[in-house]
Structure 1
Amino acid sequence: MLKVFVAEDEALVRGGLCALLELEPDMELAGEASDGAAAVEGVLRTHPDVVLMDVQMPVLDGIEATRRILAAGSRARIVMVTTFDQDEYVYRALRAGASGFLLKALAPERLAAAVRTIASGESVLDPVLTRRLIEEYLVRPAPDEQLGQRFSDLTEREREVWRLLAQGKSNAEMGNELFLSDATVKSHVTRLLSKLGVRSRVGAVVLAYESGLVRPGGRAAG
């Protein structure tokens, strides 16, 4: 049973999200909050699997709430709930440890599928949206010696998986391109995230651009 916590300051939106989740036989509502501070307290108290976190909330915004929840050691996967006109918050949220994004315009029937996807370790970011956001907010830095040392123990296969992740590829697409089974791809991704020291695939995408592994447009660095 997946435990889901909803943090949203608009009562109507929050009620709708909660109602939709409670209809799912494999999900239960862990709790809800109308501001960021209450969200931090509620998540740390209830230990949900997934948190739907609004970006803009009173008392404490969703980005800072996310940072505090993860800094406290929570293993919850936090999904930011945003709109297209809030793109300026996206990169900050990724750096805070968010595992993905849902748009408030998401069709109700897709909500449960998105929650299950994020709980399984996948990303809910569309590949096109991923590239657009990363390219808009991330300026590729000069090569960094410390970053190079940090990633020196990656195998060639892990680097290839990382490059494909940065292009927004799903496990199935990576498997087709690398001629690997789904289970093998998942194993590579798990080891890669551990070596990179990130919590999610989205974090690996950000780091791929920061480290210079790929450049805007998804091209591999020369």
Structure 2
Amino acid sequence: MTGFVMGWWRMYDRRRFRLAVVDNDQLTLTMLTLLVRRDLPEVDVTWACRRGRDAVARCLSADSRPDVLLVDMSLEGLSGVEVCRQVRAATADVALIGVTSFSLEHYAADALAAGAQCVMDKARVKDVCEAAVALANGRMPRTRYVSELTAAQSHALLAKHEGTGADIDSATRSATAPAAVVSLTEREREVMRLCAQGRSSREIGEMLGVGESSVKTYVMRAAKKLGARNRTQAVAEWLMLQD
């Protein structure tokens, strides 16, 4: 065994794990899978697929569930953010790493709020592999866009509030909610309810008939009123205040 492989083996913490990939571009999917297998020779790359719905179905099946899933953020059909939300709402057993060739900043807030542990540059395969090893062994990855919540915490929040939405009478909620929630405007509360469902800023904008930038402004204002530093914290604070 070479020194390179021995170095990676030390990172495994002597635990082999299963990894899967979903990316809508066939060439990228093939290359990413090959590079992961090269850099993590002891990891079992169990499957790779191009459709978000297929990835969710495989993650929810005990027979095909991986320990780590690399999720392309710009999937067609079911988006990468929605894949993260559906998987995380159903289970905490799959570590989710969002990957993209585009701006990390564009996807990070939505993906982390939807239950991803981190969002990374798809081209930095070695860094992605290091993050996968860390998450598979219960450690936080060393990367810029990383969630402040564990997979179990994100799962608990999303599973508990899956389906919570605008059908709840806002006047009744306002009468019983803590002061921090009451201080939010009706539109800010509406946006936070949708954020808590793991909806992306684009999806929320389409649902409410406003621009994506407006949604981000509402989230920023709500976060400030809730004493949160970012969207992920704001969602967590919002959900805790609903109890």
TM-score by length of 2: 0.52
Q: Which residue of 2 aligns with 1:77?
A: 95
Where does residue 207 of structure 1 map in the other structure? 233
Q: Deviation at 1:125?
A: 5.6
Q: Quote the residue 1:183 is aligned against.
A: none
132, 139, 155: which one aligns with 1:115: 132
Distance 1:86 1:102 in 2: 7
> How many angstroms apart in 1 are the aligned matches of 2:234 and 2:226?
12
- Equivalent residue pairs, number: 150
Misfit runs of 4+, over 6 Å:
none
Check conservation: 1:7, 1:34, Cα contact below 8 A.
Answer: yes
Partner residue of 2:173?
Answer: none
1:33 aligned to which of 34, 42, 49: 49
The answer (yes or no) to whether the contact 2:18–2:45 under 8 Å persists in 1 is yes
Cα gap change, 1:143/1:42 in structure 2, threshold over 3 Å: closer, same or farther?
closer
1:9 alignment partner, SS class: coil
Name 1:10's counterpart in structure 2.
Answer: 25
Q: 2:37 aligns with which of 19, 22, 43?
A: 22
In the alignment, residue 39 of structure 1 is paired with which amino acid?
A
2:51, 2:76 within 8 Å by CA — same for their partners in 1? yes
How big is each residue's C-alpha offset from its partner over 1:178-201, in whole Å with a ceiling of 9 and x where there is no partner?
Answer: xxxxxxxxxxxxxxxxxxxxxxxx
Q: How does 1:51-130 map to 2 (within 5 A)?
A: 51-85=69-103, 87-106=105-124, 108-124=125-141, 126-127=143-144
1:58 is paired with a residue of what secondary structure?
coil
Q: Which consecutive unaligned segments of at least 5 residues does structure 2 have?
A: 1-15, 148-215, 238-243
Cα distance, 1:101 vs structure 2: 1.3
1:56-110, CA deviations, whole angstroms, 9 ceiling, x for partnerless residues? 112201111111112222510100002352523221111110011120221x443
Where structure 1 has 5 or more consecutive residues not aligned to the other structure, the ranges are: 148-165, 167-202, 212-222
Pairwise CA distance, 1:36: 0.8
Aligned residue type for 2:132: V
Structure 1: which amino acid aligns with 2:83? A
For 2:193, the equivalent position in structure 1 comes to none
Query: What is the CA RMSD across the aligned residues, in angstroms?
Result: 3.3
1:47 CA displacement: 1.4
Cα pair distance change 1:210/1:142, threshold 3 Å: farther
1:102 and 1:124 in contact (8 A); partners too: no
Name the structure 2 match of 1:191. Answer: none
Summarize the Cα distance change of 1:113–1:143 in structure 2 as closer, same or farther, 3 Å threshold.
Answer: closer
SS at match of 1:30: strand
Report the CA distance shift for 1:208/1:64 in structure 2 as closer, same or farther (over 3 A). closer
